[in-house]
Amino acid sequence: MARPVIGVIGNRHIVEDRFAVQMAGERNLSAVAEVVHGLPLVFAGSPALTDIPALLDAVDGIILTGARANVHPRLFHTEPSPKYEPYDENRDALALPLIEACVERAVPVFGICRGFQEMNVAFGGSLHPEIRELPGRMNHRMPRLENGEIHPDPTVVFADRHTVRLVPKGAFARIFGRDTIRVNSLHGQGILEAGKRIVIEGLAEDETVEAIRIQDAPGFALGVQWHAEYDPQTNPVNRALFETFGAAVRDHRGLTK
C-alpha cells in the first residue's frame, strides 16, 4: 500500500545573508516518516509559490510546524513592534486560508506551536506577543544559560516542563486516555482570545492555552502549543498525537483517493 503524503509547511530563511530558502525541521519530517509512516513533502510557506487547491489535491494531510517568526499582529488587529520580530507574512498569507480549506475539505490538519497559533488566528482569535508578560504566567520560552544563551543540550531544551489539564472526555483526553499530561515549552506568543470555532481542550498550570480543536470540523483539526514533533518516537504523549493524525490521514485517503 502506498504511503500517505503529508504536506509539511516550509519557513522562509536567508542563508549566507543572500539566498532565500524554504526550510522545514527534520524532526517534523522524521515524525511523519517514522510514526505516521507517511512520505513528508515540504511545501513553500508562500502564496506566490504554493497553490492551495493544487496542494490539497496532492497530499493526504497537512502539518503546520513551529517557526522562529511570530504571526503578524495586524492579523488580529494589534500594532506590530520590533520587540517581537521576526515575522513571516508570506507564511501567514498561506497558512490561514490553508487551514480554512483543510477544514472545509476534511483534509487532516495538525498545528504545532506556530501552527497552533495560526489555527486560532484563522478563525478570528488573537494572540499575546509574549505570554510570559501577562500577570501570573510562567516563562514559556526555551531554557537559557545564565549568560542568556540558549541551553546547548536539546534534551534540556525540549524536556517536559509543565502540566496540561485536559477537558475530561474531550478529543485530547480520548487520545491520551487521561486528563493530565506533561509537555515541553518553547514559545513566546500564545492564545489571548479564542477564535469563534476554537474549542479549548487543554490548559497549562498558569492557564495558558495548550490544546485546541476546530469545532464541527469534519476531519482531524487539532493544534498543540508544545513541540510534539521533538520525540514522538519515544514519548507516549507525542506518539499518540502523531498516530491519531496518521489514522485520520489514512481514513481520509481511503475515502477520497
From 118, 201, 210, 229, the catalytic residue: 229
The answer, yes or no, to whether residue 1 has pLDDT greater than 80, is: no
Phi first, then psi: what are they for 37, rounded to 5°?
60, 40
3-state class of 161 per DSSP? coil
Note the pLDDT of residue 213. 98
> Please, how many CA atoms are within 13 Å of residue 134, restricted to the half-sphere of its CB?
16
Report the mean per-residue pLDDT for the chain. Answer: 92
- 5-129+188-256 CATH pick, 3.40.630.10, 3.40.50.2000, 3.40.50.880, 3.40.50.720: 3.40.50.880
Per-residue pLDDT, averaged over 192-220, amounts to: 96
* Residue-wise pLDDT tens digits, 140-183: 787 777 777 777 778 877 778 899 999 999 999 999 999 999 99
Q: Give the span between the Cα atoms of 45 and 99, in whole angstroms.
A: 13
224: CB partners within 8 A, 6+ apart = 111, 112, 113, 116, 183, 202, 210, 211, 212, 241
Helices then strands, counting H and E runs in the chain, come out as 7, 13
Q: How many other C-beta atoms can be found within 10 angstroms of the C-beta atom of residue 246?
A: 23
From 113, 130, 187, 201, the catalytic residue: 113
3-state class of 228 per DSSP? coil
Share of the chain above pLDDT 70, in %: 98
Annotated active-site residue 252? The verdict is: no
The full set of domain ranges for the chain reads 5-129+188-256
Per-residue pLDDT, averaged over 215-231, amounts to: 96
